[in-house]
Amino acid sequence: MIVATSDDAQRRAEQLIAALTPQQQQAVVDAIRADGARGWLDELLRTPDPVVGAIPDRVRGVRVRVDLLGAKPPVWRRLELPGDLTLDRLHRVLQAAMGWLDGHLHRFRTGSDPRSPYFVTAFDVEDGDEGVLEDTVRLDQLLTGSGDRLWYDYDFGDGWSHVVQVEAVLDEPPPAARCITGRNACPPEDCGGIWGYTDLAAWVRGGCDPAAVPPPFDTAAEAHHWLPLDWHPDRFDPAEATAAIAAAMASPVPVPAELAALRTRLELHGDPTLTQLLERASTHPVVEVGESEAAQLLEPYRLLLEVLGDGVQLTAAGYLPPTLVEHLADRTGVTRWWIGAANREDMTVPVARLRASARALGLIGVRKGRLTPTAVARRCRDRPLLLWRHIISRLPAGRTDFDRQAGWVTAAVVAGGVPAEHWHTEIAALLQALGWRTQGRASLSPAAVANPTLDVFGILAGSTRQGRPTGLHSAVSATAHATITP
């Protein structure tokens, strides 16, 4: 008599369940759970943890080929990697080598079946998942011989799957991960998966015929605006890929703890935008700010302090006297473009904003109905560079959570050399990624990003002279750079 083992029974049960329709499968699950066998069923359906080998006594290297599954003609890269590379760092290498932007979630698994054992990411853990963390596992614990494979999924919406296959084990590890060769460009992000990429690549290879624009685009101009600059499906440069890998593997730019926490928060959710912005800021040319540059930057604040003198009595409603508002508006350049009489603080926004900014920076204060310069303002008003350093020490300005986060993001955007006319849009995108929304809406509009730090940089860039500033302002960027430098 032949007796079925428990493994045989489990395989038979899995075969029977696989043969059922989704509705029948759910009915079986509901019935078993109702009968008190929930624990057994959960164990049966649970994806097992991946098998991880021991750390080898000696670090070697591997030469691997990475293929994007389903791409025709093939999209692939040949890489040389050190064996002690952990999977979280391998993820960064693969993103850079392929040309992805790391804007979505990812997963490593040990088999070709999407239900194969997989490694959990920091985001998975934050979401309540349990398993083997990818940052605890080295490449040489999984890929030890020629032909060994590892699967890598990216963007669960578009569904990009890659296979990493060992071509050779190297006696010595390379000093750094590098791309040896490869073929064809990475698909653009969010293009609709392999089918959308196939249609888009065929259209570009065919000369971008305006009469044959692939969906979801309505016009060729719309498609070109959306595609990465100079993107062509047949173009690939291994030297550029190696440079991208080096940049991706570089140590994070040191920034103050609050800003670093925001960067980490976005990275955990698969958003590298702030990380990339800070890296760009760290390499952006920074001008030296001396006495003359500081004097020019801070002229609106100096004029405010000059007009206040030893202090002025505010109106009963708490505003600056009309004659003083008019004088300050004229001296700072507001009257040259502001529509209106510019003689009431509550009706002259640039003057009101200048006063609020000076107060946020600790330069003025109100006591018994009088607006007076603070001790630090009196000490610094005729020493522009000292005043500039004081202002940096007070940034980001504001006390609320929004003001603090918006202030750090604003400083990063300005330090990154973003033209002033794009500040609001860039800040809004980052704050939305951090979870901020306009009340009653699913997004955050650029108009809703106003914050005390943005007011400061706007004033330094000349908002009192011309309204909302435009263009690049090197000394303002230098101020922002000093703000985000620990």
Reported as a single tens digit per residue, the pLDDT across 389-412 is 999 999 999 999 999 999 999 999
189 CA to centre of own chain: 15
Beta strands in 233-327 (DSSP E): 312-313
Q: What is the pLDDT of residue 250?
A: 85
Neighbours of 124 (CB within 10 A): 17
Q: Which listed CATH number (1.10.287, 1.10.3470, 1.10.10, 1.10.600) goes with 291-391? A: 1.10.10
Q: How far apart are CA 477 and CA 286, in angstroms?
A: 7
CA 458 to chain centre: 23
Q: Which CATH superfamily is domain 61-183 in?
A: MM3350-like (3.10.290.30)
pLDDT at 14: 66
Per-residue CA distances from 176 to 128, 168, 242, 312 (Å):
34, 17, 10, 64
Write down the domain spans for the chain: 6-45, 61-183, 291-391
d(CA 337, CA 465): 8
C-alpha to C-alpha distance for 168 and 407, rounded to whole angstroms: 50
Low-confidence ranges of the chain (pLDDT < 70): 1-25, 28-29, 31-45
And the tokens for 267? Answer: 């990275």
Q: What is the pLDDT of residue 4?
A: 44
- Amino acid found at 465: R
Question: What is residue 441's predicted lDDT score, i.e. its pLDDT?
Answer: 84
Give pLDDT, residue 464: 96
Q: What is the pLDDT at residue 390?
A: 98
What would the two tokens of residue 148 be?
A: 């060994």
Q: What is the DSSP string of 14-55?
A: HHHHHTS-HHHHHHHHHHHHHTT-HHHHHHHHSPPPPP--PP
Pick from 270, 268, 104, 107: which is nearest to 188 by CA?
A: 104
What pLDDT does 388 receive? 98
Nearest-angstrom CA–CA distance, 343 and 365: 21
CA atoms 230, 231, 235, 241: torsion sign: positive
Q: Which pLDDT belongs to residue 38?
A: 58
The pLDDT value recorded for residue 9 is: 56
